[in-house]
Chain A
Amino acid sequence: MKFSYFPGCTLKTKGKDLDIFARKSAEALGFALCELADWQCCGAVYPMAKDEIATKLSSVRALVSARDEGQELVTLCSACHNVIKQVNNDMATDADIALRVNNYLGLDTPYNGETTVLHYLEVLRDRIGFDKLKAAVTNPLKGRKIAAYYGCLLLRPSKIMQFDDAENPTILEDFIRAIGAEPVSWGMRNECCGGYIAAEDKAQATKRSNTVMEDAAKNGADTMITACPLCLYNLAKNGGSDLPVVYFTELLAEALGVK
């Protein structure tokens, strides 16, 4: 099984763990992540602007590369996933945006959202299967109580992301069970971590993060996992709690014995 892979900038700098353990685990599970040649920034928050196409171009280039390889495009960073998937949806459903982008890029074959964008977790669930993952685990994390933290970017807008039930998601809990640990039941798992407000109003972000961390700790978690570098930054740096926050790929690698 081969996928095109878009790591994104954070995974090359602050979020190296998310990337490294994902690659090791992929190898252990027998699927290949082929990093796109010359990938560019996904566009970060800017592609949200409906009236501007320039900010969407880099995402479209990644989507086109995957299409030309004939592969599905796998992402890992929640923010990149959200951006690329939303841009892909724009290209498929908004004729005006698609026309302007295609006019600008002047591709041999115009792009209209043909590429399937998958998050790494979706690959585990839908392409590998959690039952297969469970069978591949060599070092089950028995007795560990893990709080799954979703944040917002993987889930919303739910109609476009189509990742899981935005209010009561289960994919991370199923993942935790597959690697042999026990998911904690808690309420704040899809509440906001504070997001980019950390840059402007640190107190607010701290408040948000604390609420999340306290709730997880209160419900007996020993570790919290996330797929989002920004969430991890906010929770770990602003949260002021002892509860360790790690990327889900780290636990995956640990369970597969490749950490």
Chain B
Amino acid sequence: MQRIGVFICHCGTNIAGTVDVKAVAEALSHEPGVVFSTDYQYMCSESGQQLMREAIREHKLTAVVVGSCSPRMHEATFRKAAAAEGLNSYMVEIANLREHVSWIHKDMKEATEKAIILGRTAIAKVHLNTPLTAGESPVTKRALVIGGGIAGIQTALDIADAGFEVDIVEKSATIGGKMAQLDKTFPTLDCAACILTPKMVDAAQHEKISIYAYSELESMKGYIGNFKAQIRRKARYVDETKCTGCGICTEKCPMKKAPNEFNMGFDKRGAVYIPFAQAVPKVATIDADYCLMLKNGKCGICSKVCGVGAIDYTQKDEIIEREYGAVVVATGFNPIDAKVYGEYGYGTCPDVVTSLELERLMNAAGPTNGTLLRPSDKAHPHKIVFVQCVGSRCTETDERGKPYCSKICCMYTAKHAMLIREKYPDTEVYVFYIDVRTPGKNFDEFYRRAVEQYGVHYVKGMVGKVTQNGGQLHVQASDLLAGEQLHIDADLVVLATAIEPDKTARSIGTMLTASMDTNDFFTEAHPKLRPVESPTAGIFLSGVCQGPKDIPETVSQASACAAKVIGVLAKDKLLCNPCVAESDELMCNGCSACEKVCPYGAITYADKEFRGPNRTTLVRRVASVNPAVCQGCGACTVACPSGAMDLKGFSNKQIMAEVDAICK
């Protein structure tokens, strides 16, 4: 029989205002095993803890029940106090008398009755508690960053600067991500390439950073501190170690029909290409879909002109294995396909472009060398209509779009409008908006400048339809403030398309068993207090993969993420949560039900020898739980049909004892 002490907290008047705390302490003092029961004004205070410690000493308590606030708040506090008196931390139970009782009830009689029941429940459970000890696991002191955009680069640089090795795995031929495609950045209008490319070079030159570009994560096993990854290094058909990035092959390649992704398909590139002048790593890549040599075995010009013999048509994909202590997801975003909004004419009218396409049309390194020319006839547009919220903030009935605000569009549209008015004052610019959302340092001032100084026409209302009418676009829209229909003959229409997580995010999330929301953004461990960690231990989130963000916010989050990773890598050993599932091998029937429900991939099956009757040996397939991966959610214990799976600290027996106590 346990010797149990009961400590009922007043929480000032938070609990005592609604619950008769003295009556609760009195009632619980008669429960079996309770040798001490008291109440106190602030149990969590220094003197409250002192009171508990003295009682443990004096009454030789073996278990403690605290009736207080939620365990989320002070469980750790009370466990520490008990441990200081030599009690195992897991012999402390909390009855939540604040969030579950006083804050949600008004009637003192009812509330007191409920408080007593919850106290009894905790007592019933603590009778069955057993001391638990946290295990330890070692830490591989290297981090993996998936995605080499500004988020991944920043996280990698910060981790590397702290002295730890980092690998960046990037699926395209160069790191840099979306930011490399941008022209200017709001609100200071500095050139994106000017601030990004030095960071790309820093990452490439850092002795602690290895960049695996043109590579993808193939598989991931393991748990915090001990991940094992397979990385597919896709065949570039160019030896990265030999290629100097001179570009002679890209010039001489006769196959110039591949759409140039970096310029959003506005121009063509060769089958062998370097995405852009500042690419990192600056090596050529052969596009197997277009290369004449790889397709028909005829050509080979690039190989002939290459001075260092870097071209290798026989190259194959290569799988490498690496070990990591922590994994950072920085998979970023893509604009949605604007074609789903047929009413805006994207895809059918060449002069309807997306904002990212406009970035390339205005970029000095873009297809028009920075002169704004419309795609259809390369003429200078004199009237431009911007449509905001294309696919953002959609109601449930609009399945084509996203329910969320994409966050960056208001600011970049203001930027585009301002830059166009600055460079081409003869251009009339309209912006159609639902709301203009510009919180952020110097953001609203920026937007107001577009309106007040640059004379951009902001119209509250949405565009209903864009049609091609000869060489012009006809825009039908509503002006909600004036209450009238507008018909504008425009030369160029720019759609501020919603952003969505990269298509690869879902498969990476599955590989990492990192949870995602319905929009495929990665879920954080706590939306306010743990924003850069995934609920899966050892997986960290950087940038837009977690939710829409602009560049300053992405960089902040990337650095925060690095700090969390460093926190893991700096440890030699990690303490594990002891409240994990455990399988009773003698009862396990090998059905795999637990393995299927485990969201963390903590359960594995193996054939194991057991002693059978008459000195025979039986081989049975049984489950085992990796305690370092298990997060103690308990899903497996419910799924297990034979009752073999149990959760330490929350065993089936303990839960049933609690239910019995409530129903008594």
CB distance from B586 to the nearest CB of A (A): 51
Q: Are B468 and A187 in contact (CB under 8 A)?
A: yes
From 326 to 378 in chain B, residues with beta carbon under 8 angstroms from any chain A beta carbon are 341-343, 348
- Asked if A188 is at the interface of the complex by the 8 Å CB criterion, the answer is yes
Q: Which of A165, A166, A187 is close to B467, meaning CB atoms less than 8 Å apart? A: A187
Q: Which residues of A contact B13 (CB under 8 A)?
A: none
Whether a CB of chain A sits under 8 angstroms from the CB of B469 is yes
Taken together as a complex, chains A and B put the C-alpha atoms of A168 and B346 apart, in Å, by 11
CB pair B342–A168 under 8 Å, yes or no, is yes
Give Cα distance in the complex from A167 to B467, angstroms.
10
A200-224, CB < 8 A from B: 215, 218-219
User: Whole-angstrom distance between the alpha carbons of A165 and B339 in the complex?
Assistant: 12
Q: Is there an interface contact between B469 and A168, defined as CB atoms closer than 8 Å?
A: no
CB distance from B110 to the nearest CB of A (A): 39
Contact yes or no, A187 B469, CB < 8 A: yes
In the complex formed, the residue of B with least CB distance to A166 is B342
- Residues on A with C-beta less than 8 A from B348 are 168
How close is B592's CB to chain A, nearest CB, in angstroms?
Answer: 38
The interface residues of chain B lying within 8 Å CB-to-CB of A185 are 468
Interface membership of B474, Cβ < 8 A: yes
B442-484 interface with A by 8 A CB criterion? 465, 467-470, 474
Q: Would you give the shortest CB distance from B77 to chain A, in whole angstroms? A: 54
B-side contacts of A187, CB under 8 Å: 465, 467-469, 474
Residue of A whose beta carbon sits closest to that of B348:
A168
What's the minimum C-beta distance from B400 to chain A, rounded to whole angstroms? 10
User: Chain A residues with Cβ under 8 A from B467's Cβ?
Assistant: 186-188
Q: Which residue of B lies closest to A189 (CB)?
A: B467
Chain A residues with CB under 8 Å of B468's CB are: 185, 187
- Specify which chain B residues have a CB less than 8 angstroms from the CB of A218 in the assembled complex: 469-470
Query: In the complex, are the beta carbons of A167 and B343 less than 8 A apart?
Result: yes
A215 B343 Cβ-Cβ under 8 A: no
Best-surrounded residue of A165, A186, A187, A191 (most CB of chain B within 10 A): A187
The chain B residue sitting closest to A157, CB to CB, is B397
Q: Which residues of B contact A188 (CB under 8 A)?
A: 467
Question: Among the listed A165, A186, A215, which residue makes an inter-chain contact with B342, where contact means beta carbons less than 8 Å apart?
Answer: A165
Question: A219 vs B342: C-alpha distance in the bound complex, in angstroms?
Answer: 20
Using a CB-CB cutoff of 8 Å, which residues 61-99 of chain B contact chain A? none
Q: Say how far B463's CB is from chain A's closest CB, in angstroms.
A: 13
For A186, the chain B residues whose CB sits under 8 A away are 467
Write the nearest CB–CB distance from B386 to chain A, whole angstroms: 20
Indicate with 1 or 0, residue by residue over A154-166, a CB within 8 angstroms of chain B CB atoms: 0000000000011
Q: A160-191: which residues lie under 8 A (CB-CB) from chain B? A: 165-168, 185-188, 191
* Total inter-chain residue pairs, C-beta < 8 Å: 21
**A187–B474 CA distance with the chains assembled, in angstroms:** 8
Task: Give chain B residues whose Cβ lies under 8 Å from the Cβ of A165.
Answer: 342
In the complex, residue of chain B having the shortest beta-carbon distance to the beta carbon of A169: B342
How many residues of chain A are within 8 Å of chain B by beta carbon? 12
A215 proximity list for chain B (CB < 8 A): 469
> Which residues in chain B, 24-76, are within 8 Å of chain A measured between CB atoms?
none
User: Cβ of A219: which chain B residues have Cβ within 8 Å of it?
Assistant: 469-470
CB distance from A208 to the nearest CB of B (A): 11
Q: Which A residue's beta carbon lies closest to that of B468?
A: A187
What is the chain B residue whose CB lies nearest that of A185?
Answer: B468
Complex CA gap A215/B474 in Å reads 11
Contacts of B343 in A (CB 8 A): 167
Rounded to whole angstroms, the CA-CA distance of A185 and B348 in the bound complex is 11
Q: Chain B, 282-322, contact with A by CB distance < 8 Å: what is the 0/1 string?
A: 00000000000000000000000000000000000000000
CB distance from B398 to the nearest CB of A (A): 11
Q: In whole Å, how far is A171's beta carbon from the nearest beta carbon of chain B?
A: 14
**Residue in A closest to B339 when the chains form the complex, CB atoms:** A168
Alpha-carbon gap, A188 to B468, bound state (A):
10
On chain A, the residues within 8 Å of B465 by CB distance are: 187, 191
Q: How far is the CB of B131 from chain A (nearest CB, A)?
A: 57
Q: How far is the CA of A228 from the CA of B79 in the complex (A)?
A: 77
Residues 531 to 556 of chain B near chain A (Cβ within 8 Å): none
Chain A residues closer than 8 Å to B470, beta-carbon distance:
218-219
In the assembled complex, how far is the CB of residue B341 from the closest CB belonging to chain A, in whole angstroms?
8
Q: How far is the CB of B476 from chain A (nearest CB, A)?
A: 9
In the complex, chain A residues whose CB is within 8 Å of the CB of B474: 187
* Residues from chain A with Cβ under 8 Å of B469 in the complex: 187, 215, 218-219
Docked CA distance A63–B468 (Å): 40
Q: How far is the CA of A187 from the CA of B470 in the complex (A)?
A: 10
B385 to chain A, nearest CB (A): 15
Chain B, residue nearest A187 (CB): B467
Cα–Cα distance between A170 and B341 once the two chains are bound (Å): 16
> How distant is A172 from chain B, measured CB to nearest CB, in Å?
16
Give the most central of B348, B467, B474: most A CB within 10 Å: B467
Q: In the complex, what distance in Å separates the CA atom of A165 from the CA atom of B347? A: 14
How far apart sit A215 and B465, CA to CA, in the bound complex (Å)?
Answer: 15
- Distance between Cα atoms of A114 and B468 in the complex (Å): 41
How far is the CB of B594 from the nearest CB of chain A, in Å? 39
CB of B631 to closest CB in A, whole Å: 41
Cα-based distance from A38 to B348 in the complex (angstroms): 46
Bound together, the chains give a CA A186 to CA B345 distance in angstroms of: 12
Chain A residues in 8 Å Cβ range of B342:
165-168
Closest Cβ of chain A to B520, distance in Å, is 23
Kindly report which residue of chain B lies nearest to residue A188, judged by CB atoms.
B467
In the assembled complex, the Cα of A188 lies from the Cα of B341 at a distance in Å of 17
Among B342, B343, B468, B470, the one with the most A-chain Cβ atoms within 10 Å of its Cβ is B342
CB distance from B340 to the nearest CB of A (A): 9
In the complex, what's the smallest C-beta–C-beta distance from B349 to chain A, in angstroms? Answer: 9
Query: In whole angstroms, what is the CA distance A168 to B469 when docked?
Result: 15
B322 vs chain A, min Cβ distance (A): 47
Closest to B487 in A: A211
Of chain A, the residue at the smallest CB distance from B469 is A187
Closest approach, in angstroms, between the C-beta of B73 and any C-beta of chain A? 47
A201, chain B: closest CB distance, angstroms:
15
Q: Give the docked Cα–Cα distance between A126 and B343 (Å).
A: 25
CA distance A136 to B167 in the complex (A): 65
Considering the chains assembled together, what is the distance between the CA atoms of A256 and B343 in angstroms?
35
A191 to B469, CA, bound (A): 14
Kindly provide the distance from the CB of B351 to the nearest chain A CB, expressed in whole angstroms: 13
Interface string of A70-92 (1 = CB under 8 A from B): 00000000000000000000000
Q: How many angstroms from the CA of A188 to the CA of B467 in the assembled complex?
A: 8
Kindly report which residue of chain B lies nearest to residue A191, judged by CB atoms.
B465
The answer for the CA separation of A168 and B474 in the assembled complex, in Å, is 15
What separation, in Å, do the CA atoms of A131 and B468 have in the docked complex?
29
CB distance from B379 to the nearest CB of A (A): 20
Q: CA–CA, A39 to B370, complex, Å?
A: 66
CA distance A68 to B316 in the complex (A): 63
Given the complex of chains A and B, what is the CA–CA distance between A166 and B464 in angstroms? 13
Quick one: which of A213-258 are within 8 Å of B by CB? Answer: 215, 218-219
Q: How far is the CB of A25 from chain B (nearest CB, A)?
A: 30
Which A residues from 77 to 127 make CB contacts under 8 A with B? Answer: none
Please give, as numbers and ranges, the residues of chain B lying within 8 Å of A166 by CB-CB distance: 342
Cα separation A167 to B465 with both chains bound (whole Å): 9
A215 to B489, CA, bound (A): 14
Cα A215 to Cα B468 with chains together (Å) = 11
User: What is the CB-to-nearest-CB distance from B467 to chain A, in angstroms, rounded to a whole number?
Assistant: 3
6 pairs, A vs B, C-beta closer than 8 Å: A185-B468, A187-B467, A187-B469, A215-B469, A218-B469, A219-B470
Show the binding face of B for A, using Cβ within 8 Å. Answer: 341-343, 348, 465, 467-470, 474
- Nearest 4 pairs between A and B by C-beta? A187-B467, A167-B342, A168-B342, A167-B343
Residues of chain A whose beta carbon lies under 8 Å from any beta carbon of chain B: 165-168, 185-188, 191, 215, 218-219
* Known pairs A167-B341, A168-B342, A185-B468 / 16 extra A-B pairs, C-beta < 8 Å: A165-B342, A166-B342, A167-B342, A167-B343, A168-B348, A186-B467, A187-B465, A187-B467, A187-B468, A187-B469, A187-B474, A215-B469, A218-B469, A218-B470, A219-B469, A219-B470
